[in-house]
A = this chain, B = another copy of it.
Amino acid sequence: MKKILVVGLGLIGGSLAMALRGFEDFEVVGAVRSQATHDKAEAMGAADRLTFDPAAELPGADVVVLCQDPAGIIAFLEEHRDRFKPGCLVWDVCGVKTAVMEAAKCLPDGVDFIGCHPMAGKEVSGIANAEGTLFRNTHFIVTPGPYAAAEHLELLRRMADHCRFGDVIVTTPERHDQMIAYTSQLMHVIAVSVCADEGLFSCKGFEGGSFRDCTRVAALDPAMWTQLFTLNAPALSQVLEGLEGRLRQYRQVIQSGDRETLSALLAQASGRKKQIDLERARGDDVRPSF
C-alpha cells in the first residue's frame, strides 16, 4: 500500500485528508501537532491513521501534502529536506505560490514539488469545520515547476478528481499570484476595510444580502493573512491602487451630481458583470485540464 502524508489538519488539511480517503491504493496519514486536533480528527475519521511525528513518516511517504500556513510550509521544507522519499511528490495548498516554489528549491533532486492552491475555504478554521465535500466544484490551481514529472501531474489530476474539484487550472506561480491578488486577497482587504468602519455595530437591522456577502470573509486569521499579503505585496498593492482609483472616481462623480457619467460608469461595469455571468452559465470558462 502506498502512503499520502497530509501535514497539518486544519480546515484545508483536514478536509483534504477526508476527501482523499479511499484514493486508489493509498493510505492517508494525517500529521497533527496538538492533542485536541488529534482527538477531533480521530472522532471525525479524518484520516486512515494519525501521527504526531511527520519526520518518521516522510521516508515512506509517496505523496506529501503540506497544509500549514506559508511560513510553516517553508520551515517544514527546510527542516525536513533530507527526509523525503526519493521520487516522491510533494504539494502544498497555500495561497501564494512564487515564495513557496522558491523555498522548495532546497529539496534534493528527485523530490518533485508542485505548488497547488485549492480555491475553497470557509470563514472559519480548524479541523472542527473540515468537510470532505469542501472542494466540490471549486478550482484546483496547480503551478508546476519546469521539471515537474508528467506522472506526478497525472497523479495530481486523479487526486483532484477523487476530491471532486470542478476543474484543474495549470499556470505559473507568477500568474497565480497576480490573479489571486485580485480574486482573493483584494476581497479580503475589502472585507476587513468595510468592517473597520465605525458604523459596523450601529448598522444592525439595515444589512441585506450584499453586506453579509461582502463582509463574510472578514472573520479571517490575522497571522495567516499577514503572511499571504506580505508575500504577495507588489501584486496586491497594484490591484488595491486600482480599486482606490475607481472608488475615488465614483465618489467624485456622485458628489458632482453628474448623473450622465455615473449612469455610463454603472452601465459599463454592470455590463461586464452580466457578460461574465453569461459566459459562466454557458460553461465558457471551463479550462483545459492537463
Residues of A within 8 A of B (CB): 119-121, 138-139, 141, 167, 169, 171, 176, 179-180, 182-184, 186-211, 213-223, 225-226, 229-230, 233, 236-237, 239-244, 246-248, 250-251, 254-255, 257, 259, 262-263, 265-270, 272-274, 276-277, 279-280, 285, 287
| CB of A131, distance to nearest CB on chain B (Å) | 14
| CB of A218, distance to nearest CB on chain B (Å) | 4
User: Which partner residue on chain B sits nearest A234 by CB separation?
Assistant: B255
| CB of A237, distance to nearest CB on chain B (Å) | 5
B216, A169: Cβ atoms under 8 Å? no
Residues of B within 8 A of A119 (CB): 206-208
Q: Is chain A's interface secondary structure helix, strand, loop, or mixed overall?
A: helix
CA A202 – CA B175 in complex, angstroms? 11
A277, B179: Cβ atoms under 8 Å? no
| CB of A116, distance to nearest CB on chain B (Å) | 13
A219, B250: Cβ atoms under 8 Å? no
Other-chain contact of A251, B179, B195, B240, B262 (Cβ < 8 Å) = B240
Answer whether A277 and B219 are a contact pair too, CB < 8 Å, given A176-B206, A206-B179: yes
Copies in the complex: 2
Other-chain contact of A219, B194, B265, B274 (Cβ < 8 Å) = B274
User: Which partner residue on chain B sits nearest A262 by CB separation?
Assistant: B226
CA A244 – CA B252 in complex, angstroms? 12
Chain A to chain B: the 4 pairs with minimum beta-carbon distance, closest first: A192-B269, A213-B213, A187-B210, A218-B273
Residues of B within 8 A of A188 (CB): 210
User: Which partner residue on chain B sits nearest A249 by CB separation?
Assistant: B193
Other-chain contact of A184, B210, B244, B270 (Cβ < 8 Å) = B210
B207, A269: Cβ atoms under 8 Å? no
| CB of A217, distance to nearest CB on chain B (Å) | 5
CA A257 – CA B280 in complex, angstroms? 37
CA A7 – CA B234 in complex, angstroms? 52
| CB of A255, distance to nearest CB on chain B (Å) | 5
Residues of B within 8 A of A285 (CB): 204-205
B219, A236: Cβ atoms under 8 Å? no
| CB of A135, distance to nearest CB on chain B (Å) | 11
